[in-house]
């Protein structure tokens, strides 16, 4: 331990010893904590969150999370190649992962881990929207490629103008149908309030664990016995806290990179982060909100990052229906919405300098897109909205700031590559792990945390499989390859999560 640590620890007022330390009170830490509570009920768990509330960053429904990403409508998961053929590999993988999350949530409702499901999940159609002859043909091919698969059975292709207007009145009103339109429609999609889900999971975890809010992790150092010492500050009192943990999970969203770098683990070296901020239009007119009940995703602009796919998005928050449109891309050097402007500069280290510098020439289209978005006027934003809702007027919408997303820059050779998914970073001996990246993120939290368990507790994982299978009956199987099991589990999760279509859905 260096002199600085000795000096700081000499005034430590509190020492906490725990088997598991969770950093951050978002959906990832909450999910991992809930899994471990079931798998190892005798283990002690402590969670530390620098803010005063759970799910206050990216898990908050007014920030980023909310769609329940299952690749039903997100066109960036079904790209077309130069010949126009549709690659559905990523869509199948993400849908499989979402089914795992659905099963765990249904198990949670059935077994008292979670409360009322309509507080965090509601049925909302998922819809893909394209216009123009090329867009219509793309959706026709996409429907043909997906609808033959078990996970996408029931998906519809719609290119009839009258049917379009009947299903999406807000988007049909005032539309010029000389520009052809088409939809891929999936009735049984979901809206997920990951903020409410996180809070319910933490209510369960907190029955037998200690949750510390207003506590900021400043540093973490590995000890000779493989355990970790964390330096934490109580932001309310200024008290310094020493935490000794056998296992640490860093689920701090955009703040994870800094902490993984401070840990000194070799697996984190070479990783960098590229922050992307955004804004949404939130509808303030109840009459307009009432005209739309779907999550409608379009195609991203040329050069735009995948998470900038425009969407007109119904959300249910605290039982109230809302409507968002966006995102409008922005840029900030912050790694968290509540972060600081030095977050990006402080993340630059000798090991990731070249990978981060190599991104600019590779991602010129992305940089050009961001510059054009930053230069957009309020009128330009309304015009983009009118591509979806032709009669939209700015007075019915307010601009809100979304959460920060830090895209992963991974070292490849002497340079680097920008990734738009999520990455688990785990130390070789399994005593520390963290999660980097963004979409599909929250929607695949359960399989992501099972991956953490498998990597970090390989010696115990085999013994956990029976309990994991109890929580996730399809564990270890591909539902797309097992139609009978898929339908059985789909019916069960629909019943438990109360997702049967409702008159007001």
Average pLDDT rounded to a whole number, residues 72-90: 93
Q: Which pLDDT value is given to residue 504?
A: 38
263, two tokens: 């840990």
The ranges assigned to domains in the chain are 14-462
8 pLDDT exceeds 60? no
366 pLDDT exceeds 70? no
Q: Which pLDDT value is given to residue 1?
A: 38
Please give the CATH number for the structural domain made up of 14-462: 3.50.50.60
d(C-alpha 461, C-alpha 475), whole Å: 13
Give the residue from 74, 67, 69 showing the smallest Cα distance to 146: 74
Q: Is the peptide bond before 327 cis (omega within 30 degrees of 0)?
A: yes
pLDDT in tens, 487-501: 999 999 999 999 974
3-class DSSP state of 430: coil
10 pLDDT exceeds 60? no
CA angle 142, 147, 151 (to 5 degrees): 115
Q: What percentage of the chain's residues is helix, strand, coil (to nearest 5)?
A: 40, 25, 35
Give the residue from 59, 409, 53, 448 showing the smallest Cα distance to 249: 448
3-class DSSP state of 99: helix
363, two tokens: 């991602």
d(C-alpha 273, C-alpha 82), whole Å: 30
Q: Which pLDDT value is given to residue 64?
A: 67
d(C-alpha 68, C-alpha 101), whole Å: 10
Q: Tell me the pLDDT of the chain averaged across its residues.
A: 89
Cα separation values, 329 from 305, 393, 401, Å: 9, 20, 10
pLDDT in tens, 221-233: 999 999 999 999 9
Average pLDDT rounded to a whole number, residues 419-433: 87
Upper half-sphere CA count for residue 324 (Cβ side, 13 Å)? 26
Q: Tally the residues of the chain.
A: 505
């Amino acid at each position: 331990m260096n002199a600085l640590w000795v000096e700081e620890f000499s005034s430590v007022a509190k020492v906490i010893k725990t088997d598991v330390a969770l950093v951050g009170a978002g959906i990832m830490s909450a999910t991992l904590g809930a899994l471990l509570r079931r798998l190892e009920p005798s283990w002690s768990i402590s969670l530390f969150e620098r803010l005063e509330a759970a799910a206050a960053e990216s898990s908050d429904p007014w920030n980023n999370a909310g769609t329940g990403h299952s690749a039903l409508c997100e066109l960036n998961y079904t790209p077309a190649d130069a010949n126009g053929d549709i690659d559905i590999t990523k869509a199948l993988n993400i849908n499989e992962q979402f089914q795992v999350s659905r099963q765990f949530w249904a198990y949670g409702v059935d077994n008292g881990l979670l409360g009322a499901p309509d507080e965090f999940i509601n049925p909302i159609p998922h819809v893909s929207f394209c216009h123009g002859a090329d867009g219509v043909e793309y959706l026709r091919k996409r429907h043909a490629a997906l609808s033959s698969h078990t996970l996408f059975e029931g998906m519809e292709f719609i290119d009839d103008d009258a049917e379009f207007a009947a299903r999406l009145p807000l988007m049909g009103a005032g539309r010029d149908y000389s520009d052809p339109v088409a939809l891929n429609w999936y009735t049984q999609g979901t809206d997920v309030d990951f903020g409410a889900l996180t809070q319910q999971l933490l209510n369960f975890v907190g029955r037998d664990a200690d949750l510390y809010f207003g506590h900021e992790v400043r540093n973490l150092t590995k000890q000779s016995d493989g355990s970790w010492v964390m330096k934490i500050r109580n932001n309310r009192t200024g008290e310094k806290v020493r935490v000794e943990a056998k296992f640490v999970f860093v689920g701090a969203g955009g703040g994870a990179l800094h902490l993984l770098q401070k840990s000194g683990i070799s697996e984190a070296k070479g990783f960098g982060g590229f922050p992307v901020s955004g804004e949404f239009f939130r509808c303030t007119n109840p009459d307009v909100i009432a005209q739309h009940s779907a999550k409608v995703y379009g195609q991203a602009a040329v050069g735009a990052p995948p998470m900038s796919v425009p969407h007109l998005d119904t959300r249910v928050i605290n039982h109230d229906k809302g409507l968002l449109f966006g995102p409008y891309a922005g840029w900030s050097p912050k790694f968290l919405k509540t972060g600081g402007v030095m977050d990006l500069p402080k993340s630059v280290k000798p090991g990731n300098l070249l990978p981060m510098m190599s991104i600019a020439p590779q991602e010129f289209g992305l940089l050009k897109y961001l510059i054009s978005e930053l230069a957009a006027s309020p009128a330009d934003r309304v015009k983009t909205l009118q591509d979806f809702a032709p009669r939209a007027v700015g007075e019915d919408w307010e601009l809100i700031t979304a959460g920060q997303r830090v895209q992963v820059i991974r070292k490849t050779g002497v340079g680097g590559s920008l990734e738009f998914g999520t990455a688990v970073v785990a130390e070789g001996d399994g005593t520390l792990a963290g999660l980097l990246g963004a979409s599909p993120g929250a929607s695949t939290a359960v399989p992501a945390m099972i991956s953490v368990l498998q990597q970090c507790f390989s010696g115990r994982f085999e013994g956990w499989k029976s309990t994991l299978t109890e929580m996730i009956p399809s564990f270890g199987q591909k539902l797309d390859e097992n139609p009978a099991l898929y339908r059985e589990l789909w019916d069960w999760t629909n019943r438990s999560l109360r997702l049967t279509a409702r008159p007001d859905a």
